[in-house]
């Protein structure tokens, strides 16, 4: 999808999009179209149920008095209520309405009374929203009919301050590229994406200036990552740990500000549950149990793409959890890199074992300001929060507050869940230092308590994204399938707090 920005004019031909505010109040672009139609636009609106409310649209084919093929009028609602997210949603709806209408279309963006956003910002956010909505994972569909495929390939946005709009969108486009990267990785089947190939996908970030290091099985053994290796031992696919480094600060910056911030992801490229095998129904969804690692890779692409002024570490632990004659068994005891021992009660509680070792590794090697890990960790978080929020667990109030705000600002919402000594006791066991599950109750919390034992005093947050990594329905800027949830959230966290 190609986006361009042009002078503030009403195109004479093709497909054009104009806006109307709540109460059927026309924008200046819509008024210009209505004049060309000799009042036809106003009459069409009066004859319909369209009132300019948010989410509404009206299509007019071959508008009388013009050479246009089609006009789309989109409802803007009340201009005072328009913020970044609302405008991005409008962009997504524009794309959805026109995706099969033709090869190109033009959007006329006007200054709006009482609107907090300037026309250039409105234009950039419309393009951003449309770019997010235009995502489609169809590379394996070989017999789809041409008429069933989207045809819209270019959107030109006419607005005052087109040069500024182009500049603003250039940054948004890098973030969108990171979201698309994550969605692609999450959508790929497990016979295509497994530890070795996912590591190779991460290595492509070197083109953007990211330093990428891939640790193989021999190195992981030398480091003592017994928890991670135990998960992988049932598969013919050997594990990998990938370290990605983006140094966006000048070397002259010293001290705490130069300390990196770290993002870590669970990368179980397919999760059968191991010996504690999952039911067959729905197991195909376990291809996206590497969603946390996909977010970290996409985030690093976004940050490097827009040349973030911060030092950032991304670490992902990549394994495949399979049952075999060599698979880890319930009751096995493994030794983590930290030296702490873990009794494996359930081999389907494997993601926390992977994260335990990479959290400790990152803490010890990089001494980060803070660590945020992402994981499709528990089904219990879906029971708790549904698919509206991801679960947030943290040992630091300041970091939690920043994350929650970034979530609100990007509509990737987080809900903070409790931690505490009573929950921590639930993972004690007489056989080892801890066990990997705490019982039926508070499953998401005890999983977080497990992870907390591997961070010491480093500020840390755990995002349980099991419910939000995959969507079964379309949303204005998120088509069904892989969502890329977390890329925009964490990019905003960095931009608002660690680049000033």
Using DSSP's 3-state secondary structure scheme, residue 29 falls into: helix
Using alpha carbons only, what angle is made at residue 415 by residues 409 and 417, rounded to the nearest 5 degrees? 150
Which among 188, 412, 179, 396 is positioned nearest to 306, based on CA atoms?
A: 179
pLDDT for the residue numbered 345:
98
pLDDT for the residue numbered 255:
86
| Count of other CB atoms within 10 angstroms of residue 7 | 10
256 assigned to active site: no
pTM: 0.97
Catalytic residue, chosen from 278, 405, 416, 475, is 278
pLDDT for the residue numbered 100:
95
Cα distance between residue 236 and residue 447, in whole Å: 27
Cα distance between residue 139 and residue 215, in whole Å: 30
pLDDT for the residue numbered 256:
85
Cα distance between residue 54 and residue 266, in whole Å: 38
pLDDT for the residue numbered 146:
87
Model pLDDT for residues 409-423, shown as the tens digit of each residue:
999 999 999 999 999
**CA atoms within 13 A of residue 485's CA, in its CB half-sphere:** 32
- Measured in residues, the chain has a length of 500
Q: Which residues contact 58 (CB under 8 A, 6 or more apart)?
A: 44, 45, 48, 50, 72, 73
Backbone angles phi, psi at 55, to 5 degrees: 95, -15
Catalytic residue, chosen from 352, 363, 488, 492, is 352
pLDDT for the residue numbered 115:
97
Cα distance between residue 242 and residue 314, in whole Å: 8
pLDDT for the residue numbered 39:
97
CB 69 within 8 A of CB 77: no
43 assigned to active site: no
Question: Residue ranges of the chain with pLDDT lower than 50?
Answer: none
Model pLDDT for residues 355-407, shown as the tens digit of each residue:
999 999 999 999 999 999 999 999 999 999 999 999 999 999 999 999 999 99
Q: Quick one: how far is CA 379 from the chain centroid?
A: 19
CB 381 within 8 A of CB 414: no
DSSP letter (8 states) at residue 244? E
All domains in the chain, ordered by first residue: 2-159 (3.40.220.10), 174-497 (3.40.630.10)
CB 77 within 8 A of CB 113: no
Both tokens assigned to 162: 């087109």
């Amino acid at each position: 999808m190609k986006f361009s920005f042009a002078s503030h004019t009403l195109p004479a031909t093709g497909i054009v999009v104009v806006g109307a505010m709540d109460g059927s109040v026309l924008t200046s672009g819509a008024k210009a179209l209505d004049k060309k139609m000799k009042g036809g636009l106003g009459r069409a609106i009066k004859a319909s149920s369209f009132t300019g409310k948010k989410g509404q649209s009206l299509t007019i084919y071959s508008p009388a008095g013009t050479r246009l093929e089609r006009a789309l009028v989109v409802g803007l609602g009340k201009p005072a209520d328009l913020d970044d997210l609302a405008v991005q949603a409008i962009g997504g709806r524009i794309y959805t309405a026109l995706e099969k209408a033709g090869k190109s279309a033009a959007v006329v963006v006007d200054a709006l009374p009482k609107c907090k956003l300037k026309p250039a910002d409105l234009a950039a956010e419309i393009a951003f929203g449309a770019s997010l909505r235009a995502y489609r994972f169809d590379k394996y569909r070989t017999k789809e009919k041409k008429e069933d495929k989207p045809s819209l390939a270019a959107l030109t946005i006419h607005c005052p301050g087109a040069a500024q709009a182009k500049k603003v969108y250039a940054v948004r486009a890098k973030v969108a590229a990171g979201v698309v990267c994550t969605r692609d990785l999450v959508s790929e089947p497990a016979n295509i994406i497994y530890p070795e190939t996912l590591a190779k996908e991460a290595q492509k970030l070197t083109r953007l200036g990211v330093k990428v290091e891939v640790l193989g099985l021999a190195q992981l053994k030398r480091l003592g990552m017994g928890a991670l290796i135990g998960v992988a031992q049932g598969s013919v696919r050997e594990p990998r740990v990938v370290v990605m480094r983006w140094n966006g600060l000048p070397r002259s910056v010293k001290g705490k500000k130069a300390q990196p911030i770290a993002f870590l992801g669970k990368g179980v490229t397919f999760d059968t549950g191991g010996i504690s095998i999952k039911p067959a129904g729905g197991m195909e969804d376990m291809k996206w149990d590497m969603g946390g690692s996909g977010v970290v890779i996409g985030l690093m692409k976004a940050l490097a793409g827009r040349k973030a002024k911060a030092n950032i570490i991304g670490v992902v632990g990549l394994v495949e959890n399979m049952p075999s004659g060599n698979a880890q068994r319930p009751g096995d005891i493994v030794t983590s890199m930290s030296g702490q021992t873990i009794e494996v009660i359930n081999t389907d509680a494997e993601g926390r074992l992977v994260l335990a070792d990479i959290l400790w590794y990152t803490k010890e090697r990089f001494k980060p300001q803070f660590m945020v890990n992402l994981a499709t960790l528990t089904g219990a978080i879906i029971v708790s929060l549904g698919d509206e929020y991801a679960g947030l667990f943290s040992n630091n109030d300041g970091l939690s507050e920043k994350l929650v705000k970034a979530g609100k600002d990007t509509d990737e919402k987080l809900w903070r869940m409790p931690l505490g000594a009573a929950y921590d006791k639930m993972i004690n066991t007489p056989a080892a230092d801890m066990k990997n599950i705490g019982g039926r109750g508070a499953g998401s919390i005890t999983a977080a308590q497990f992870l907390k034992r591997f961070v010491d005093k480093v500020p840390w947050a755990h995002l349980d994204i099991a419910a939000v990594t995959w969507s079964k329905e379309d949303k204005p800027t998120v088509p069904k399938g892989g969502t890329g949830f977390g890329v925009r959230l964490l990019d905003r966290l960095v931009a608002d707090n660690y680049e000033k």
